[in-house]
Copies of this chain bind each other. A is one copy, B any other.
Amino acid sequence: MKRIGFLLKVRPDRVEEYKARHKAVWPEMQAALRRTGWHNYSLYLREDGLLFGYFETPISFNAAREGMAKEPINAEWQASMAPFFEALGDLRPDEGMFELEEVFHLD
């Protein structure tokens, strides 16, 4: 398993709504994530909107993203989430995830 860390930036004025939406992620979206290799996936949010994601995958960050990019439900979810994020330009939120370097691990 690879352990992936990434960052995104939620708009500060949308933080509460972002949290509410993530208490009710569509079951089809959850199934697609599992099917495409997103496991033990958590999102952490700072009050100003800094968002950190962590997940484990048997493939790679890019392969997991590419798998989700082929899921029709993902296009719907990302379109519904796009207004919540800062500075993505024409990117979908899942295209704007910034991968971080793992510099330490202890099992």
Contacts and interface: CB of A to CB of B under 8 A. Distances in A.
Interface of A: 3, 5, 7, 18-19, 22-23, 25, 30, 33-34, 38-46, 50, 52, 54-55, 98, 100-107
B107 A40 contact: yes
Contacts of A30: 106
B101 A45 contact: yes
Nearest to A100: B44
Given A52-B52, A54-B54, A103 B45 contact: yes
A49 to B, nearest CB: 11
A30 B22 CA distance: 34
A75 to B, nearest CB: 19
A89 B102 CA distance: 27
B41 A103 contact: no
Contact of A103 (B7, B44, B105): B44
B103 A19 contact: yes
A68 to B, nearest CB: 12
Given A23-B103, A46-B101, 15 more contacts: A5-B42, A7-B50, A25-B104, A25-B106, A40-B106, A40-B107, A41-B104, A41-B105, A43-B104, A43-B105, A44-B103, A45-B100, A45-B101, A46-B98, A52-B100
